[in-house]
Chain A
Amino acid sequence: EVQLVESGGGLFQPGGSLRLSCTASGFTVSNYYMTWVRQAPGKGLEWVSLIYTGGDTDSAASVKGRFTISRDNSKNTLYLQMNSLRAEDTAMYYCARRYISGFHFDFWGQGTLVTVSS
C-alpha cells in the first residue's frame, strides 16, 4: 500500500529554518517525480517544489533561493529544507507523488502544519 507521511512541522520564528520530511512506503521515491504543495489556512493549493527522477529540481518563484527539495534514496524519504522563513510561509505542507506516466499527483500525504510567527 502506498503511503506518504510528513513530519517536521511546528511553530517557527521569522527568519528561522526547518526541514520537513516525507517518508514513503509501498513504492520507491527515486522512481517518481515528487513534489511539495502547500495550503495557507483557509486558502487554496500552491505548488512549491518538485524533484525529478534524475535529481533535478524546480521551485516556485515565491520560495526560490529559500527552500530546497531533496531526497534520501536509502531512507526512501523526501525533504524540504526551508530557510529565511516568512509569515506568509505559514501553511499545511503536503508531499505528493506524480503519477508515473502522467501529469497529475496520484498520492498525497496528510500534511504537516508549519506556522511562522514571533
Chain B
Amino acid sequence: QSALTQPASVSGSPGQSITISCTGTSSDVGGHNYVSWYQQHPGKAPKVVIYNVSNRPSGVSNRFSGSKSDNTASLTISGLQAEDEADYYCSSYTSSSTPWVFGGGTKLTVL
C-alpha cells in the first residue's frame, strides 16, 4: 500500500482537462509545500512535471499545473494531447522516518 493515495486511472478526450488527486497526511502533503508530480511513459524513466506543489520545470508545457488543499494535492492537465497519455505519480517530502513517499500512480488515457 502506497503512502499517498491516487486514483488508479483517469481519462479524457483531446482538448479536455483532467485532474489527478493525491491524498496524504499532515506529515507529508499537508505539512510541506514539497509535492512533486512525475510523468512516466511506458519503458521510460520518470520525468518531473511539477515541483513544490505548483512550479513547472523549464521545458514543461504550461498545460500542466498543480495545487494543494490541506492533505490533498492535485495535478491538472488542460488541453489534453495524445502525448500526455502516461502514468503520473505524486511524491512528497515527509517529516516521518521515510523522507520521501510516492503515490501509487494514475494511468491517464487520452480517448
Contact = CB atoms under 8 A, between A and B. Distances in A.
Nearest to A45: B102
Interface in A1-60: 35, 37, 44-47, 50, 58, 60
Interface size on B, as a range, is: 20 to 34
Interface of A: 35, 37, 44-47, 50, 58, 60-61, 94, 96, 99, 102-106, 108-111
Interface of B: 2, 32, 34, 36, 38, 40, 44-48, 51-52, 57, 89, 91, 93, 97-105
A44 B2 CA distance: 8
Q: Which one of A37, A104, A105 has the highest number of Cβ atoms from chain B below 10 Å of its Cβ? A: A104
28 contacts: A37-B46, A37-B102, A44-B89, A44-B102, A44-B103, A44-B105, A45-B46, A45-B89, A45-B102, A45-B105, A47-B100, A50-B99, A50-B100, A58-B98, A58-B99, A60-B98, A102-B51, A102-B52, A103-B93, A104-B48, A104-B51, A104-B91, A105-B38, A105-B46, A106-B48, A108-B46, A110-B45, A111-B45
